[in-house]
C-alpha cells in the first residue's frame, strides 16, 4: 500500500504535469512520463473499431516495442477528429520529442475526455516546454492527478520485488470512472519499472495482467475509443533481462497483475456515482469461460447493481442474470452468498435475510454453480442516481 505523501520514485524515470488550459476548470491536464534511457515498451489498446487518433498513432509505434516518453492530456479525447486529429497527435509527439532531444517514434500520446472536438493545439504547444522543464523523479502523483476526468481520486499502485538479490520496483497509475467495460474503456493506465524485461516477456506479462484485471472490470458496459495501457521497463536495476522461460518470469507477471488488479479495483470503487465496490465470483463452472460469462452477466445487470445500491436483497435478479448469461446451468444446484451469508440455497431463497447484508462498502457476491471446478472474478460497482447526474450533462 502507498502511504499518504509518500513520493514514489522509480530509478531513471521522471514525471511532470501542468495546466495547459484544456480543461475549463484550470486544473492540471497535461502530463509527461519520461525515461532517461530507451525502454522496452508494451501496450494494450481499445478493441473499439472506432479508435482515437493517439491510439492509432501508438498502435503503429508499439510495433518497435521501444519507448522513452508518454505524453497524456485530459479534457479532450482527440477521437472522431479525422485527419486533423492524427496530425495533431503526431505534432504533439514531435514537439515533445524535440524538447526532450529524442526521436518522435519513442514518444507515445494518450488523450481522454470529450469526443469529437479538435485539440486546443495552441495551448498544448505552448505548455510542452514547461512540461519538460518541470520533469522530476518525485512527480508521479501529479501525473496520476492530471490524467483524471470524472475520477474522484487519483489511482496509484506500487510494488517492490526481489529480482535475484536486487530490489526492483513497479509503479502504476490509472484513470477510469465511466464508460468502463471489459476489454477496457475510457481507461488509461501507465506502468513503469526499473526491472529489465525482454520484449516478448513484457508484452505477454502485460496482456496477462490486463486480462485478469482491467478486462474483468465492468462499470457501464460502454467501451471507449481511447483505452490504453502502456508499460515501460528501463532496466536500470541492471538485472539479467527476464525472459518468458526465466524462473523469475512468473514472479514478475504476478507482481504486474497485482498492480493492475489493484488499479482496476480503485477504478471500480470510483465508478461514476458509485457508492460500493462489488466483486462477483462465479465458482463451480465447467469452464473458465462459462464462469466469466455468468460473473459478467451479473456484473452488467442494472437491476442487480441498483438493488445493491438500495440495500435490497433481491436475489431473484441475480438468478435471472445467471439464467440469461447463455450458459447451461442447473437452477436447483445454485447457491448464492453475499460475503459469507448464504442468500440462495439450491436455487431457492433463504427465508430470513438480515436487513443490512448489502450495507458494507465492499461486497463480494459468490455464485456456486455446482457443475465443475472452474471460476472467474469480475469487479464492478453499484448503479446510483449519481451516475445519471454525471452523465446526463458531461458535454454541455
Site residues, a second copy (CB under 8 A): 47-51, 77, 79-82, 114-117, 178-179, 183, 220-225, 300-303, 306-307, 309-317, 319-325, 327-329, 331-332, 344, 347-349, 383-385, 387-389, 391-396
Residue closer to a second copy (CB basis): 5 or 355: 355
CB of 346 to a second copy, least distance (A): 8
Residue closer to a second copy (CB basis): 224 or 228: 224
Residue closer to a second copy (CB basis): 189 or 297: 297
16 contact partners, CB below 8 Å, separation of at least 6: 31, 32, 34, 131, 132, 133, 134, 135, 136, 139, 142, 143
222 vs 178: CA distance, rounded Å? 8
Q: What is the largest CA-CA distance in the chain?
A: 70
Q: Could you tell me the three cell numbers for 120?
A: 486546443
Element (H, E) at 304: helix 302-309
CB of 49 to a second copy, least distance (A): 4
Residue-wise burial string across 34-47, b where 16 or more C-beta atoms lie within 10 A, e elsewhere: bbeebbbbbbbbbe
Residue closer to a second copy (CB basis): 108 or 387: 387
CB of 323 to a second copy, least distance (A): 3
Residue closer to a second copy (CB basis): 14 or 51: 51
254 contact partners, CB below 8 Å, separation of at least 6: none
Residue closer to a second copy (CB basis): 189 or 301: 301
Q: Could you tell me the three cell numbers for 18?
A: 501542468
265 vs 155: CA distance, rounded Å? 10
| 274 in Cβ contact with 386 (< 8 Å) | yes
Written in H, E and C, the secondary structure of 215-235 is HHEECCCCCCCCCEEEEEECC
27 vs 144: CA distance, rounded Å? 13
User: Cα torsion for 324, 181, 84, 134, to the nearest 10°?
Assistant: 180
Q: How many CB atoms lie within 10 A of CB 4?
A: 4
Nearest CA to 67 out of 18, 91, 92, 33 is that of 33
CB of 234 to a second copy, least distance (A): 34
Nearest CA to 170 out of 205, 131, 132, 124 is that of 205
CB of 115 to a second copy, least distance (A): 2
**Active-site residue list:** 186
CB of 387 to a second copy, least distance (A): 7
CB of 281 to a second copy, least distance (A): 19
Residue closer to a second copy (CB basis): 115 or 170: 115
Terminal CA-to-CA distance of the chain, rounded, Å?
Answer: 38
Amino acid at each position: 500500500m502507498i502511504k499518504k505523501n509518500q513520493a514514489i520514485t522509480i530509478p531513471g524515470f521522471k514525471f511532470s504535469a501542468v495546466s495547459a488550459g484544456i480543461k475549463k476548470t484550470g486544473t492540471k491536464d497535461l502530463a509527461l512520463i519520461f525515461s532517461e534511457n530507451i525502454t522496452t515498451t508494451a501496450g494494450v489498446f481499445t478493441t473499439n473499431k472506432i479508435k482515437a487518433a493517439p491510439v492509432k498513432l501508438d498502435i503503429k509505434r508499439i510495433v518497435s516495442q521501444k519507448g522513452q516518453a508518454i505524453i497524456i492530456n485530459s479534457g479532450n479525447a482527440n477521437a472522431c477528429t479525422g485527419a486533423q486529429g492524427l496530425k495533431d497527435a503526431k505534432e504533439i509527439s514531435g514537439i515533445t520529442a524535440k524538447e526532450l532531444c529524442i526521436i518522435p517514434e519513442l514518444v507515445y500520446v494518450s488523450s481522454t475526455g470529450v469526443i469529437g472536438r479538435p485539440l486546443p493545439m495552441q495551448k498544448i504547444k505552448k505548455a510542452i516546454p514547461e512540461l519538460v522543464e518541470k520533469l522530476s523523479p518525485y512527480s508521479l502523483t501529479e501525473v496520476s492527478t492530471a490524467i483524471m476526468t470524472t475520477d474522484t481520486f487519483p489511482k496509484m499502485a506500487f510494488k517492490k520485488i526481489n529480482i535475484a538479490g536486487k530490489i526492483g520496483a513497479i509503479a502504476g497509475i490509472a484513470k477510469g470512472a465511466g464508460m468502463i467495460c471489459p476489454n477496457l474503456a475510457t481507461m488509461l493506465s501507465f506502468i513503469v519499472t526499473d526491472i529489465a524485461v525482454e520484449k516478448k516477456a513484457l508484452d505477454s506479462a502485460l496482456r496477462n495482467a490486463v486480462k485478469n484485471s482491467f478486462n474483468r472490470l465492468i462499470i457501464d458496459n460502454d467501451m471507449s475509443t481511447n483505452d490504453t495501457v502502456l508499460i515501460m521497463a528501463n532496466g536500470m536495476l541492471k538485472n539479467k533481462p527476464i525472459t518468458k522461460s526465466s524462473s523469475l518470469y512468473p514472479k514478475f507477471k504476478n507482481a504486474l497483475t497485482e498492480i493492475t488488479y489493484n488499479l482496476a479495483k480503485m477504478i471500480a470503487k470510483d465508478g461514476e456515482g458509485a457508492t460500493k465496490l462489488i466483486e462477483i465470483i462465479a465458482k463451480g463452472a465447467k469452464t473458465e469461460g462459462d464462469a466469466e460469462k455468468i460473473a459478467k452477466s451479473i456484473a452488467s445487470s442494472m437491476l442487480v447493481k441498483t438493488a445493491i445500491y438500495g440495500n435490497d436483497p433481491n436475489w431473484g435478479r441475480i438468478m435471472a442474470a445467471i439464467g440469461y448469461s447463455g450458459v447451461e446451468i442447473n437452477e436447483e444446484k445454485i447457491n448464492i452468498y453475499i460475503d459469507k451469508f448464504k442468500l440462495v440455497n439450491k436455487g431457492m431463497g433463504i427465508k430470513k435475510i438480515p436487513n443490512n447484508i448489502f450495507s458494507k462498502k465492499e461486497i463480494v457476491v459468490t455464485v456456486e454453480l455446482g457443475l465443475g471446478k472452474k471460476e472467474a472474478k469480475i469487479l464492478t460497482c453499484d448503479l446510483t442516481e449519481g451516475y445519471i447526474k454525471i452523465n446526463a450533462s458531461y458535454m454541455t
